[in-house]
Amino acid sequence: MIMVLLGCLFSGSSVFAQTRTIVGRVTSPDGNPIQGANIQEKGTQNVTASDAAGNYAIKLSSANSILVVSTVGFGTQELPVGKEGRVNMVLAPTNRQLDEVVVTALGIKKEARRIGYAVQTIKGSELTAAREPDVFNNLEGKVSGLTIGVSPELFSRPMIVNRGTKDMLIVVDGVPVNSDTWNINGDDVESMSVLKGPNAAALYGFRGQNGAIVITTKKGSRDAKGWQINLNTSNMLEKGFLIYPKDQTEYGRGTKFQYSFGEGLDDHTQRLPTWGPRADNQPVLQYNSPYDVTTGVRTPTPYKSIGANNYKNFLADGFLSSTNLSLSSSGTNSDVRMSYSHVYQKGTDPNTKVNMDVLNINTDYSINNRLKFEANINMDVQYTPNLPDANYGPNSYVYMFNVYGNSEYNVKDLANYYKAPMGIPGLRQYAENYGRSNNPYFMAQQWLRGHYKTDIYGYIKLDYNITKDLTAFVRTQFTGWSQERGEKVPAGTILNQYLPWYYWGWYGDYREDRRSLLENNTDFLISYNKDFTQGWHLNANLGASERSFRYSSFYGTTVDMAVPGVYSLSNSQTPSLAFNWTSNMQVYSGYYTADFGYKNYFNLSTTGRIDNLSTLPSGYNTFFYPSVALSSSLGDYLKLPSAITYLKLRASWAQVKGGQTTSQAPSAYALANGYFQGSGVTTGSLLGYGTESFTSYDGPTYNNQNQYTLTTYYNNLPSVAYSTTIANPKLKPFDVTSYEAGADIRLFHNRVGLDATYFITNNGPQEFGLGVPSSTTFGYENVNGIVTQKKGWELTLNATPVKSRDFSWDMTINWSTYVEKLKSIYGDLTEIQLGSNHLYHVGERVDDFYSTGFVTDGKGDIVNSGGGPLSSPGGIANNVYLGHLNPDFTFGFNNRIAYKSFSVSFQFDGRVGGKIYDDVWYHADNGGTAIETDKGAFKTARASEWESTNDGVAAIAPAYIAPGVMITGGTPTYANGQITNLKNIAFAPNNVPTTVQNYFSSSLGSNFDQYYMISRTFVKLREVQLAYAIPTKLLGKSGFKSATFALVGRNLLYFAKRKDFDIDQYASGTNVSNAGVAQYGTSGDVTLSSPSFRRFGFNLNVGF
Amino acid sequence: MKKIITGFIFLSGIISLGLVSCQKGNLLSNPNSASSSTTVPASLLLNRITNEMYYGGGVIDGVAGNQNEGPWNQIMRWNQFFVSSYPYYWGNNAYTWSNTATQFPMLKYVNLLTAQVQSQYGTTPNPYAALAKFFTAYSFIWYTQRVGDIPMSQAGNPSLYPTPKYDLQHDVYKNSLALLDTANTLMGALAANSANTNALVDPVGDIFGLTYLQWQKVINTYRLRVLISLSRRAVDNADLNIPTQFAMIYNTPAKYPIMASNSDNLAYHYLSSPAKDNYPLFPNYTPYIGYENMCNTFINVTAGNNDPRTFIAATPAPAQIAAGKQISDFTAYVGADIGLSYSQITVNNSGGEYSYNNYLRYYGTASGPNVSGSTCEPYILIGYPEMCFNIAEAANLGWIPGVSGSTWYTNGILASMNWLGLKDGATVAVGLPIFQPTNFSNVLGNVTVNVTNFMNQPNIVYAGDNATGLKQIFTQKYVAFWQNSGWEAYYNWRRTGVPTMSQGGTGIGTPNLQIPIRWQYPVDEQTYNTTNWQAAVGSQFGGTDAVTSTMWLIK
């Protein structure tokens, strides 16, 4: 196929060969190619860009053309073209950075000096060497204020957090796309601009309230040949744990030091933690002890610790391969770029993988100097027959190995998962602990979760230059996706208590989750751009758009399959269940921008937008919001000390309004879940396990309506649930207001640069479900209330400590911090319960976390009662402050050291401060599996207790004496979870022994969240690249124009106090600032997660 | 040039077609649910209300402080029927409750039902109007007996009363009793029609499956429960006419029919399918049976009285069997003191000192415990055995002139035995869980029941309408509450002090190690109805909303 494509290109180039073409190479003074330089024939629409090797080609319309070359960091240069066909350009880094161009809202390119708000741009080439399966993961540490929570799970969406808010808008070539992050192929990205505040995104409307990532894709480029091919491939192995919870290997499965496999052939009722006997070679009935089929007798075998590395032995090396082939070409009137990528990822869990193909075609055609068509289409297909799941449940390996794992079996013995006589092919597993967990190989090969998704976005656009200063375009874009997920639950699967209809002889289930979304954005824009001779300039745009949105989802499940192995919704013993959920939305918008300035003294930029939104009640559904930004490039008109090369100050104010939409897709799955959990108890849920897939949405919530939801509570009889929130027909749109000020300073001829931003964002009044007294019989009423205020700093420091002809060292440090506090509530309320744990007062941080804590004696010693820590009386007032959940600051530290054709780059990044709940630790302690349960005083006590049982026969003599004191006199009174009458209470050192199992599972249990709150601080060595760019002269006439080879590594080192789960994935502690998606005062969505791996490999980038 | 402009306009026109073809109509309303102005059949609302009644206040909506009222839940530990010896699987024994949930969600659906019935039925007589009165009273009494004064006259009408004022507990009871009287009148008029009398009220909406007459009996039987729960205020609140109302109901069966047998019980029947309607312990908790023991408060009054209901509830303590005792030996059944620390309970349990729950009975079947193949232990919410003891108590107190507590005391015990399938000569299979039960066949043997011998024991024979007789009534009523009737065992203990519940140990978990005697008001009342909440707490408890404060009801 490639040959066919090449053939087309060659023939294409011959067609265009008749016009005059200039080719050449753009380099920096040190000879490095400059990619993405914009090259334009002055006064015409002829424009191109240099490729990765710095090569360009441009068609010229006149004999005496002047080429205007501009690129980020190198300013603009003009070069007259003579008769020669080749013009090489060496661009000197500009001293004043005046002409740096940034892509802003609506895809409008602006000079950096004229921008009054915070934007940070990353070049695509920085994202495509040390690959991540998702290109957004590569942004972590590279932009101040932007945090990417990289998930350790295969094909799991990263958590993107900007200034503490999630769900940024993604814009490709000026149009918002509604898709998941996987959809963007890094090889097609020219640059990513992160617009951090609503200032920058005001023009995208409410979808841009949390900032936007504006992606510019690569366009066709020219070469002497008229075409160019680029190949970029990365292949990386995932090997070696970066983060892995440590387990004890001394004690086996069981409880109270007792364990025995059932005497029968199979024993599927065991659900026991790892508090069993010590493996002392004593005879124990085990799953693989010899079993006599005729007598039905199982003979005990010695109990030994033989599987210390079971989890590691079960896992395999992962592999990530990403290859992109792009062809670009241009003719007199046209540019075209075609790109194809294939990403293959093999998971570290056996039999898991993801394939992804991305096609991107970008083309434009100029009918004449005035009229140009432009079209782009991007199609992404993701397909996998099986994705793993990680959470607290029997569907998860981390649950099986780290929470309830023991070492008294060898996982390899289970590879034949239908091994007779216990196993029956297709019906019953050969399993070590059938009843609590499944045979992991059975899970890997039989319990499959498929994912098939197609994402498409594309647009067609017509540009019209009415006059030299006045242009217009009209554009229509479609963005949409359809996803199908299926879960095949085979016969004999152990679902623990999560699926209550499990019984012996159960033939499995099949579930299907289908969702699709289609959105059309049609807009037009008229632009007037004029540089007046007196130094005044004006740029004005007037536009309008229509957004039409439709979403639908379906969820179906069998209720016990009638025949095993046939995964069809009609294969159900009792009628299968089906749910659907749909939504529609329509948004009309009109907007303007006007930039007005005088020389470099100032630039005043104003925007305004009016939205008509179908999700809001009539009379409140049309609203306006503006923004203003001011910037001034002081160095251009003031005499500054010579050390200061450049100084720009900026300030801005912006507002965004919107309402009753959400970024996360409501789904039929969730509906089904609610339908069954409506019974009020979890046993009703057929879906109480598994992670719901996240899909992008940005559509209606329907949360402001008094409505009956259909449901059932008993015997499948129809029933209803009425809204618990009182709808408000006069609900106004929410309001986000942001103030921002910043400075951009460059010193010592650009050797040092500092970009600093200070922002204040008032989030609110939100559309908020304010509590009402329960005596009204409702829970909430929608009001315009609750304002939180974020204040924060973002700093980016660039420096070039060393720079010589052959050797250079560049570094960038990104640093950011913010604090969000409750500013006002509603009316004269001064406190409000957010979440279930705390009454927050005006002025308090909203990420302050309150929960169950220890009672102390006033001197720091824990008060015990009956052998374990004493609980305070409970209730919201007795919850203890356990720290704040958001980090104090986040940072990224990037370095690039180059010597001739070699370069080394590496990045450290991390987050410092704050607390997080360690769910892995909690569950593993409770299960008796964590190494801590067999260390220090616990180890001594556990051994003593084991010996006291005389091989499990006698009663345990408790041997663990918890540190701290106990009460020997007086009755305590409490406030805020602590004793208030300490002087009336007599304490003595605790002397009540308890068992280790009892201490962890009963006393600590889930009663003291304080114990499992750990520091959120971590630092990662995120990536290392060792690259060699083969010098052009060596390439000679090889046919290659450029070639770079790099050894790359990702996630190489991790520094944190506890290394049992990857803190990285939890990019934010709270999510308060997303209107309507508040998650207050909880430990967040922290759950069990898989270990994470290091990744090594190579990258090859070839241009020819 | 002109052509180009024409072309541009032409193309713009084509694209504008997209604008024209946009979605029209009502995009504001949720297409996935029914709006509040829709006709919703009364059945569906009654269905929600009856489920609300089974699950308990705020449980379906998951509000803070809610507790499931079915069998084997936390409240049954607080009733001191059984204890948890492993909190991770079975939860805490401690009485560390604080802010209460409410039963106002039920009132919300009653209000919705009333509105739907008015528009759908007009003035046509219908059972929903009668049931609405009953459930209104039920929801207020549910809440007031937990906290004291509550909003009633202004509750459930947010547009008119966003911050409802509190009514005195006395008035709440007075008005609720009046509502129950109206409910009886309305339902009585319908039940009198012979076409209705033995017809189901609503097979879709009424999950309890009762007839018109049975519902009328439920209303009056419940009213007897409410009246007897006011025993401490019967004398000093003449305006409530508590004894006279009781006597009037008892003496006027034609107007106020009451339950006649267990078949009139308001009971929730578990189903083998769908799975979420299975008996709560089936089958998920089977592996955790070793983590739950009997509580000695219950065992002391059953095994201590040679009560055959011991065999229904419990298995013998393993250590007692190991020591050679017979399974029919009541001394082989030992309960754990809920006041002990977990540490102690766990150690004692691993030493085999305690009885477990009867897993043969309670874990084995999806649709609930059964004896001889017939389903016979649905979950009673309002039942005949309790009614017998309520009448016995009223008689003992002299509320019903000319009636002795004796017959009704005996009726109550026999009804309870009957409900559990116990009669002379019946056999009960007794099992003993091992730690890894592979099936439910771990049967130690059968015990033959002799109810007559039990009844003839001197301390069981009714001692007469005196203090001793009263205590016997309370004790037997407590046993009859085994795994049913929600909080009633606790409320009766709070009112009467019988049986002696364990207090003072660390396992109780409260600062003074005593069992709380009320709940704090919900946090939302404190935050969003501050003035009225403060006034209520001030006038009742001197300003402190504490779980140790004594409310009017039990003063």
Token couple for A305: 């610790």
Res A1053: pLDDT? 95
Q: Identify the band that residue A367 occupies on the pLDDT scale cut at 50, 70 and 90.
A: confident
For A955, the closest of B45, B155, B350 (CB atoms) is: B350
Beta strands A169-172 and A212-217, pairing class: parallel
Q: What is the per-residue DSSP string for A318-384?
A: EEEEEEEEEEEEE-SSEEEEEEEEEEEEE-SSTT-EEEEEEEEEEEEEESSSSEEEEEEEEEEEEEE
Q: Which DSSP helix (H) or strand (E) runs through A127?
A: none
Q: Which residues of chain B have pLDDT under 50?
A: 20, 372-374, 435-440
Q: Which residue of B has its CA nearest to A973?
A: B511
Res A729: pLDDT? 93
A833/B274 touch (CB, cutoff 8 Å), yes or no: no
Token couple for A481: 């996706």
B35/A726 touch (CB, cutoff 8 Å), yes or no: no
Please report the number of interchain residue pairs, chain A to chain B, with beta-carbon separation below 8 angstroms.
Answer: 345
Q: Does B8 touch chain A (CB under 8 A)?
A: yes
Tens of pLDDT, residue by residue over A1043-1053, are 889 999 999 99
Tens of pLDDT, residue by residue over A736-788, are 999 999 999 999 888 999 999 999 999 989 998 999 999 999 999 999 999 99
Q: Which of these, A93, A25, A32, A35, lies nearest to A58 by C-alpha position?
A: A25
Average of per-residue pLDDT across A123-147:
86
Res A927: pLDDT? 92
- Classify residue B338 as exposed, middle or buried by CB count within 10 Å of its CB (0-12, 13-18, 19+): buried
Q: Which of these, A447, A451, A424, A556, lies nearest to A495 by C-alpha position?
A: A447
Residues of B with Cβ-Cβ distance to A1080 under 8 angstroms: none
Q: Give me the percent of chain A exceeding a pLDDT of 90.
A: 49
Beta strands A1018-1029 and A509-531, pairing class: unpaired
Distance CA B508, CA B514 (A): 7
Q: Identify the band that residue A114 occupies on the pLDDT scale cut at 50, 70 and 90.
A: confident
Tens of pLDDT, residue by residue over A271-315, are 678 999 999 999 999 999 999 888 888 899 999 999 999 999 999
A435/B38 touch (CB, cutoff 8 Å), yes or no: no
Rounded to the nearest angstrom, the minimum Cα separation between A867 and chain B is: 6
A94 or A23: whose pLDDT is higher? A23
Q: Identify the band that residue A72 occupies on the pLDDT scale cut at 50, 70 and 90.
A: low
Residues with Cβ within 8 Å of residue A581, at least 6 apart in sequence: A552, A553, A666, A667, A668, A670, A671, B32
B38/A710 touch (CB, cutoff 8 Å), yes or no: no
Per-window interface: B 351-370 vs A, CB < 8 A: 351-352
Tens of pLDDT, residue by residue over A619-665, are 999 999 999 999 998 877 888 888 888 899 999 999 999 988 888 77
Q: Residue A528: pLDDT above 70?
A: yes
Q: Which residue of A has its CA nearest to B47?
A: A719
For B344, the closest of A272, A581, A866 (CB atoms) is: A866
Q: Give me the percent of chain A exceeding a pLDDT of 70.
A: 89
Average pLDDT, chain A: 85
Degrees to nearest 5, angle at CA A1087 with A1081 and A1088: 160
Q: Residue A566: pLDDT above 60?
A: yes
Degrees to nearest 5, angle at CA B283 with B426 and A487: 155
Token couple for A756: 């600093």
Q: Residue A982: pLDDT above 90?
A: yes
Q: CA torsion, points A934, A939, A945, A947, in degrees to nearest 10?
A: 100
3-state secondary structure A831-857: EEEECCCEEEECCCECCEEEECCCCEC
Q: Which of these, B169, B163, B145, B171, lies nearest to B532 by C-alpha position?
A: B163
Res A250: pLDDT? 96
The DSSP 8-state label assigned to residue A402 in this structure reads I
Residues of B with Cβ-Cβ distance to A944 under 8 angstroms: none
Q: Which amino acid is at B308?
A: P
Rounded to the nearest angstrom, the minimum Cα separation between A977 and chain B is: 11
Q: Which DSSP helix (H) or strand (E) runs through A1057?
A: none
Rounded to the nearest angstrom, the minimum Cα separation between A949 and chain B is: 10
Alpha-helical (H) ranges within B27-168 are 42-55, 74-78, 87-90, 104-121, 127-147
Q: What is the Rg, in whole angstroms, of the alpha carbon atoms belonging to chain A?
A: 32
The predicted model scores a pTM of: 0.89
Residue B537 near residue B545 (C-beta atoms within 8 A)? yes
Degrees to nearest 5, angle at CA A430 with A425 and A432: 165
Distance CA B333, CA B321 (A): 9
Distance CA A521, CA B203 (A): 51
Token couple for A376: 């782009």
Distance CA A386, CA A490 (A): 14
Residues with Cβ within 8 Å of residue B500, at least 6 apart in sequence: B297
Res B373: pLDDT? 43
Degrees to nearest 5, angle at CA A845 with A841 and A846: 85
Helix axes B384-396, B212-229, angle to 10 degrees: 40
Res B23: pLDDT? 78
Alpha-carbon torsion A705, A707, A713, A716, what sign?
A: negative
Residue A509 near residue A566 (C-beta atoms within 8 A)? no
Q: Which of these, A221, A163, A95, A157, lies nearest to A736 by C-alpha position?
A: A163
Alpha-carbon torsion B392, B395, B397, B400, what sign?
A: positive
Q: Which of these, A795, A870, A876, lies nearest to A834 by C-alpha position?
A: A876
A262/B436 touch (CB, cutoff 8 Å), yes or no: yes
